[in-house]
Amino acid sequence: MAERNHAPYVDITKTAMKFRHSRLPLMAGLSGLLGFFILVGVSLKSDYDGLEERARVEVGNLGHLMELHTAARIRNIDQILQDVQGHVTPEDMARSQTQRGARGEELERLLRTKREIVPEVHGLHLVNVKGDFLYSSLSPLPPYNMADRSHFTAHVQNPEAGLVIAEPVLGRTTGKWTLAVSRRLNNADGSFAGVVVATFLPESFAPFYQSLDLGPHGNVSIRDTRARMLMRFPARDDRIGQPVESHPAQPYMARGDREILMKIRSGTDQVERLVSIRKVGEYPLYVFAGMAPEDYLSNWRSKLYYYSAGSLLLAAVVLGLLVINRRGERQEESALRALAETEGRYRLLLENLPVGVIHFDSRLCLTFCNERFATMVGSTVQALQGLDLQRLRDQSVLPAMRQALAGEGGTYDGSYRTTLSHIDVWISFRANPLRDASGTIIGGIGIVEDVGEKRRAEDSLRQSERNFRTMADFTYDWEYWQGADGRIVYMTPSVERITGYGVQAFADDPSLLQQIVHPDDRQEFQEHLNQAVFHHEHMVDFRIVRRDGQVRWIAHGCQAVVGEEGEALGRRVSNRDVTERKTLEAELQALNSRLEARVQEELASNREKDQLLIQQSRLAAMGEMVHNIAHQWRQPLNALGLVIANIRDDFAFGQLDAAALDESVGRALKLLQRMSTTIDDFRNFFRPDRDPADFDLGAAVEDAAFIMEASLKNNDIALERAIEPDLRAWGFHGQFSQAVLNVLANAKEVLQERHVRPARIRLQVSRCDGQVEVTVEDNAGGIPGNVLGHIFEPYFTTKEQGSGIGLYMTKMILERSMHGKIRAENTAEGARFVLTVPLYTLPPTAPMQ
């Protein structure tokens, strides 16, 4: 069997001499070179993406490992602190350094014992309320005071602080960076008794960090929630404890994110790193694990260098052939010698390509393969040399090889089971014929790429596409994406159910979208398009004419579609058939119109009835007024009759002189003036109010009582008053007095009908929860239960001569004019009417300028 490095190659010098007579093989070579460059570029991109993904996984695992390690260490220290808390009493913390005695030795043994449990702990201390070290695992006691330390003041100020982790400080005795972790000690009453503090050296974490594979430029660190560095590996003491201004991770840490993955360029060494940031349990700590791309991409960059060099060499080979072809025979021998020198480099390049390369002869015998191919199929170059390809276990690649031997390129993409190692791989295989200088096919060359990862990604992408396609194709509404050029990019099949036209009809003729719009709606639809072109969300309803001539209503909404760079990609449109809704809306509108007309008719009818009621109420009020005037005039008329009789008697007895006549005439005139004043008072009472205003409720009630007073006295009915002063309301003074008068008159009539003795009406005005209540209560025995619910209805009366409008008008006055209400209820003696109106408060007086 021929040597591995020479078997697949032909005599380059002879081949080049034949190229001089034909440019077709040279063009084929250029095409092959271009294809080779493309394959190399694709392979480099695939390797780069794979390395980036692997780095994300590795740095995430490092961050998770650091989180678990740090949480475990802090948890162990916290358990020691809590254990010490349980052993220390308030009396222990109240002693001075000179009063510790045997108890102090016992506590210090406890501290030393607990400290030895966790090797990372450098010192375990008990500090009193003044910040002085009282007990310690170290000897002698640290001589400094901790009252100004942030963790000490945190416990003093906040009894619920729990575990506090302080900022790192440079140890006064060790000269090394030290972290303090502490918990509060309380007295029996919950007051501050001191703290238990554990100090440890961040450098104790170094052995664990050294075991991590970070690469030459990787690092790990622990920071608090303000991104202040607590420890770092490799160590940078100048950065410990220093706050970082505007750290890229601070917004995410402030938001409380537990896992963060991002690339950060260090401000210290200017190295960019892929960093995994993870929160440590519920502690105010974050761990940072970073790997530098220049580390995990170093091999890839080497490959890039080799591939670039190889590509340049191949380009040099082809350019050399072009130079040979152009310069003629005198320079041909010199060029071929240079080409021969590159042959070895070409072989080296093939050995280091990221894709598998094979040569086979015309008998389908494997004459050459590179290391990449051997690794891909799980074998060695030596084992594969001379392999009879016709006896392969998996012969799925043979058709492509035979096509190459027939002078055509052959391909195969799919699963392949290897012959010698019995493993399954996904490959992309490309075979092309290999010709000698005369153009005779002497074998073939194949390029094999392991596309397992790519295949899995493509399968996932296809499944995702199927899922989205299924969702889109089975949506109920008519959805489509119209490109910026006006053509349909995608449209759901539901378009045919709504319009009668299939998807293809709109794809063939995009103007069909405007053609099916109802002629009466086209202008509105076009205005909508002009307003919504790729810029705004917009909604509009319009009609379309289906293919079968039906008219349907469409609810149309569209939104601009933009790319990642903000470029316009068209608009996304959603259309829904809302014909049923529009039909119902039209029917509802017609129904509303009919109802509105009926309401107007009823309102007009009710206004006529109200006018009639008002007229009847006025007539009843006038009758009551005449009746009350009669009662008011009864006494002065009797007195006037006596005056006239006295004049006659004085004249008959000769005693009528000028003085007596003047006295009698004066008395008569006073009586007549009193009667005239009574008429004015009644006329003013029934005079209608023009505009609403605020008025005194007590005065309005007194006006009503004055009108009824004489009539009540004449019928032996006592009127009791209890009127709270300075209560005002907004409305019509006269109308409210009329309402009170109606209730008083109703009470008087009931007392008369039932011949109650002694008869009594109690009139009360009082404030109640921001309202004013006017109560009219009688002792007439109450209202029958079957009548009580109807007394405020118009024309309802239990009296033979009653009109049934008095209480109804009272209710209308209170509810419509005063925004008040009236209610009736029975008491132990009779009935009670309660008139309620809002209390009006006078606005404050403006200050003097």
Mean pLDDT of 718-746: 90
Among 259-273, 294-308, 492-506, 522-536, the least confident range: 522-536
Residue 820 has pLDDT above 90, yes or no: yes
The residue assigned the tokens 């209540």 is 773
Mean pLDDT of 412-422: 86
What was the pLDDT predicted at 690?
Answer: 63
What was the pLDDT predicted at 197?
Answer: 94
User: How many CA atoms does the CB half-sphere of 282 hold within 13 Å?
Assistant: 4
User: In this structure, what DSSP letter does residue 848 have?
Assistant: P
What was the pLDDT predicted at 758?
Answer: 94
CB atoms within 10 A of CB 723: 17
Cα→Cα distances 89→92, 94, 104, 197, Å = 5, 9, 12, 16
Residue 352 has pLDDT above 50, yes or no: yes
What was the pLDDT predicted at 532?
Answer: 61
What was the pLDDT predicted at 252?
Answer: 87
CB atoms within 10 A of CB 380: 14
Burial status of residue 501 (CB atoms within 10 A of its CB: 0-12, 13-18, 19 or more):
middle
Asked if 475-577 and 688-838 have one fold, the answer is no
Residue 805 has pLDDT above 80, yes or no: no
Domain residue ranges in the chain: 53-296, 475-577, 578-687, 688-838
What was the pLDDT predicted at 186?
Answer: 92
Residue 13 has pLDDT above 60, yes or no: no
**C-alpha span between 93 and 95 (Å, rounded):** 6
688-838 topology per CATH: Heat Shock Protein 90 (3.30.565)
Where residue 143 falls among pLDDT bands split at 50, 70, 90? Answer: confident
**C-alpha span between 380 and 652 (Å, rounded):** 168
Residue 766's closest CA among 774, 756, 777?
774
The model's pTM: 0.37
Average pLDDT, the chain: 82
Among 84-93, 352-361, 463-472, 659-668, the least confident range: 463-472
Residue-wise pLDDT for 601-635, tens only, equals 887 776 676 666 656 665 666 666 676 666 556 65
CB atoms within 10 A of CB 10: 13
What was the pLDDT predicted at 845?
Answer: 53
Does the domain made of 475-577 have the CATH classification 3.30.450.20?
A: yes
Residue 344 has pLDDT above 50, yes or no: yes
What was the pLDDT predicted at 221?
Answer: 85
Residue-wise pLDDT for 766-787, tens only, equals 999 989 999 999 999 999 989 9
CB atoms within 10 A of CB 762: 18
Write out the H or E segment, with its range, that includes residue 448: strand 441-450
Residue 17 has pLDDT above 70, yes or no: no
The residue assigned the tokens 């390049």 is 349
What is residue 414's three-state secondary structure? strand
Tell how many helices (H) and how many strands (E) occur in the chain. 24, 28
Where residue 578 falls among pLDDT bands split at 50, 70, 90? Answer: confident
Residue 849 has pLDDT above 50, yes or no: no
**C-alpha span between 80 and 76 (Å, rounded):** 6
Among 413-417, 722-726, 820-824, the least confident range: 413-417
53-296, superfamily in CATH?
PAS domain (3.30.450.20)
**C-alpha span between 75 and 77 (Å, rounded):** 5
Q: What is the CATH number assigned to the segment(s) 578-687?
A: 1.10.287
* CB contact at 8 A, 701 and 765: yes
Residue 503 has pLDDT above 80, yes or no: yes
Which structure tokens are listed for 310?
A: 């190889």
Please give the biggest Cα pair distance in the chain: 184
User: How many CA atoms does the CB half-sphere of 164 hold within 13 Å?
Assistant: 23
Burial status of residue 346 (CB atoms within 10 A of its CB: 0-12, 13-18, 19 or more):
middle
- With a pLDDT cut of 90, the percent of the chain lying above it is 18
**C-alpha span between 33 and 65 (Å, rounded):** 47
Mean pLDDT of 31-58: 83
What was the pLDDT predicted at 636?
Answer: 66
**C-alpha span between 306 and 304 (Å, rounded):** 5
Residue 836 has pLDDT above 80, yes or no: yes
